[in-house]
Chains A and B, each alone.
Chain A
Amino acid sequence: MEHSMNTSIEHENKEAIIQDLMENYGTAILHLVYSYVKDAALAEDLTQEIFVKSYHHLHTYNGTSKMTTWLWRIAINHCKDHLKSWYNRKVTVSEQEQLEQTKDASTTEDAVIQNHIDHELAGAVMDLPDKYREVIYLHYYEDLSTREMADVLKKNENTLKTRLKRARVLLKQRLGGTL
């Protein structure tokens, strides 16, 4: 997540900056988006839109926060806008099947067990309600501290700490004895 930028961004540098951001963080943003929308094709579309949006909003980057924080914020807002949109509320996609399908694919015994453990955890996290999935993802996948999360999500740090706690309880309930 380390990336610093000059405060003044010249017009002709904009494309180069976006190229740079895409090369360094494209896949990370795609994963982040997927954690919100749980659909691969949709995540790809939204990620592209996020970079186009970033290009047009480069001037709003003021240099005080890290460039990545700025980018993450745009990405998260874009995901949330999508989740709130009419299209998303009216049109449902079935992602669940895809998760189920990959569950069977394994060869050796160890791989099967590891695969099972991975799937169980990933599945449980992806099944969490949006606001809990968000904090678990940012904290344990993106390694953001609660302080950084508060900055990116524009929420009170204590609210997020409570959410994290609650999310862990939910996961524990779901995963039960396999801890």
Chain B
Amino acid sequence: MENRLRKLKQALNHTSFNTLTFDQEHRNQVMEKIAGQDTRPEQIRLSILQLLVQEETGYTLAGKIRSRGIKTFENDQGALYTTLHILEQKRCIQSEWKEDGQKFYQLTRKGRKLLKKYESSPDKPRVLRTLVEAGQI
């Protein structure tokens, strides 16, 4: 039996495991799940930038942040506006008052560039840090 079991590796690799590979797509899905659950400030700011590729009011943005599983602003809506203000000062986003009295937020060109840089960067944590460090990016 011992001799035969030595061939178990080959046997399983040729049969049950033949088509079982953990590929890039699987890995990406894991990283997305992790990002969705991550509530570190830089991750939250990244989420905000990702959501602001289209125009949002603070209210609609808060809803979308919540649906990403981020509960940070649940009981502290004010903190969201503080964060938006900081991102605006970093010139990653811009705001505009519309005629109906609603304030809309959207990415600036700089914000877009930063997102692109994040997506293609091999050192993502470093790009993220620029979002929480003081001063301009």
Q: Do they bind each other?
A: yes
User: Range of interface residues on chain A?
Assistant: 35 or more
With known contacts A12-B125, A136-B5, A141–B27 Cβ distance under 8 A:
no
Contact of B16 among A16, A47, A126 (CB under 8 A): A126
Which B residues between 54 and 100 are near A, CB-CB below 8 angstroms? none
A contact residues vs B (CB 8 Å cutoff): 11-13, 15-16, 18-19, 22-23, 26-27, 29-31, 34-35, 40, 43-44, 47-48, 51-52, 55-56, 99, 102, 114-115, 117-119, 121-123, 125-126, 136, 140-141, 168, 171-172, 175, 179
A121-B20 in contact (CB<8A): no
Q: Are B16 and A34 in contact (CB under 8 A)?
A: yes
Say whether, besides A15-B125, A121-B4, A168-B1, A115 and B14 are in contact (CB < 8 Å): yes
Q: Are A26 and B27 in contact (CB under 8 A)?
A: yes
Are A31 and B26 in contact (CB-based, < 8 A)?
Answer: no
Interchain CA distance A119-B16 in the complex, whole Å: 8
User: Which residues in A have their C-beta under 8 angstroms from that of B1?
Assistant: 168, 171-172, 175, 179
Chain A to chain B contacts (Cβ below 8 Å), 27 pairs: A11-B40, A12-B125, A15-B34, A15-B124, A15-B125, A18-B31, A18-B34, A22-B22, A22-B27, A29-B22, A30-B22, A34-B17, A44-B22, A47-B22, A55-B34, A56-B37, A114-B14, A117-B11, A118-B7, A118-B10, A118-B14, A118-B15, A123-B15, A126-B16, A136-B8, A140-B5, A168-B5
In the assembled complex, how far is the CB of residue B20 from the closest CB belonging to chain A, in whole angstroms?
A: 5
Minimal beta-carbon separation of A19 from chain B (angstroms): 7
